[in-house]
Amino acid sequence: MPNMESQDSTVSRGEEIKVLANEAFKAHKYSQAIDLYTQAIELNGKNAVYWANRALAHTKLEEYGSAIQDASKAIEIDPKYSKGYYRRGAAFLAMGKFKEALKDFQQVKKICPNDPDATKKLKECEKAVMKLKFEEAIAAPESERRLVADSIDFRSIDVEQQYSGARIEGDSATLDFVKKMMDDFKNQKCLHKRYAFQIVLQTREMLQALPSLVDINIPDGKHFTVCGDVHGQFYDLLNIFELNGLPSEENPYLFNGDFVDRGSFSVEVILTLFAFKCMCPSAIYLARGNHESKSMNKIYGFEGEVRSKLSETFVELFAEVFCCLPLAHVINDKVFVVHGGLFSVDGVKLSDIRAIDRFSEPPEEAWHYLMSVARMLPLGDLFDTLGPLGDLFDTLGLMLNCYGVIHNLSMEEVLASGMGNKGAFMRFEAPELKPNIVTFSAVPHPDVKPMAYANNFLRMFS
């Protein structure tokens, strides 16, 4: 009898924690919700609902690999639990894996034949798979494909006399050009395609020459700023520059991936960041995030925005340039900066990252451990498999706590969703490199809603 009472108490406690987790989820505190669902699972790991709910929270943080694992566990526990298939299908869909998503929504339809929502999503998945098969059928073999970048001569593009926007005089962008371009963007004016091509092509050339892991040296007495996800929030990017100064050799930045998608000013963001890179390569460093990929851009809005504001050619060109972005950075042999946190496999060394041939769309297994949510982590004994890299911060706990703060205040969840909370960036001072976190509130922008260019699939699951 005592064992039965203890078991009942454990199950009851699990339900209480699930209620708290649901409340955190409703408040958009997805990391907190995941922690609470995990506690509930530890008390009662045979409850499919806990696994499916945690899968949904992972999906909200774009941790799709974890979402698929949790949803699969829910299905394993209860093969007739429709939400397990639904949430795994939604995660597959968010990754652009339409064929896998289709199988899950077929199961949802089988379990719930009269559910109109399931019927609608199944039909949309069927359309997407049909389109995908058609595109695969007409696509040229990989060996025969020619890079778009190699076919563009921006110098041959004439600039109309009546064009009054920013102009590049000479071979490269200047600070005056970048300031004029940003001011034009602020007033919702477009950059001429000649200069857009020039900026993107020159940036590609610079990025191609970089290693997959870039070492950054900050001299004593100097500072360095690291920014997380911008996600198409151009007016908040301007606010960062207003608060912290424009990128320059004396005021360098690292933008740690996810420059585009979600927010509806992604073209303005990426051209601004690339223009600064062209103006002064040491003024700005750029890392690849999970949204610098074809599958994400197709779903979350960048592809549609580029097609609307520039042209179809730019869609392919940006995809090629994104494949050239470095994957990680190390600052003064002390701070490791990567978009997706640490690794899903043991024994990874910095030399392994340096050896990655990154010039392609990323394989899923690489995405899982290199890309997900902006994180900055110190090197040292905690991650000794990365190798000896200088002194660890005196207060390791402080650095890890700072990660928690920057994660919870990331522009990904806050600004790009239009919720009006705070964003944050980190400013490091050499030689100590102890992080100073600067927070700021979202600023007003033109009345163009986030996700204005996003795929219809995403709106269906919002």
- Region 65-77: mean pLDDT is 94
Residue with the bigger pLDDT between 246 and 10: it is 246
Residue with the bigger pLDDT between 157 and 425: it is 157
pLDDT of residue 391: 32
> Looking at the predicted structure, is the pLDDT value of residue 15 above 70?
yes
Q: pLDDT tens for residues 152-203? A: 999 999 999 999 999 999 899 999 999 999 999 999 999 999 999 999 999 9
CATH class as words, domain 2-138: mainly alpha
pLDDT of residue 375: 34
**pLDDT band per the 50, 70, 90 thresholds, residue 368:** very low
> Looking at the predicted structure, is the pLDDT value of residue 29 above 70?
yes
- Region 304-330: mean pLDDT is 95
pLDDT of residue 395: 27
Residue with the bigger pLDDT between 350 and 13: it is 13
Is 418 within 8 Å of 448 (Cβ atoms)? Answer: no
Alpha helices (H) in 228-378, listed in sequence order? 234-244, 266-279, 294-300, 302-309, 312-322, 350-354, 364-370
pLDDT of residue 121: 83
Q: pLDDT tens for residues 432-461? A: 888 788 888 888 889 988 888 887 666 665
Structure tokens of 393?
Answer: 């911060």
Q: Collect all residues with Cβ–Cβ distance below 8 Å to 184 and sequence separation of at least 6.
A: 165, 166, 190, 191
The rounded Cα 105 to chain-centroid distance in angstroms is 26
Q: Of 162, 124, 51, whose CA–CA distance to 460 is shortest?
A: 124
77-86, 335-344, 414-423 — which is least confidently predicted? 414-423
Residues of the chain with CATH 1.25.40.10: 2-138
- Region 132-136: mean pLDDT is 78
> Looking at the predicted structure, is the pLDDT value of residue 143 above 70?
no
301-310, 332-341, 434-443, 447-456 — which is least confidently predicted? 332-341
Distances (CA, A) of 266 to 254, 258, 326, 400: 17, 10, 20, 30
Catalytic residues: 291
Q: pLDDT tens for residues 98-109? A: 889 999 999 999
Distances (CA, A) of 115 to 111, 121, 244, 320, 420: 9, 10, 52, 41, 35
- Name the CATH topology of 148-461: Purple Acid Phosphatase; chain A, domain 2 (3.60.21)
Residues of the chain with CATH 3.60.21.10: 148-461
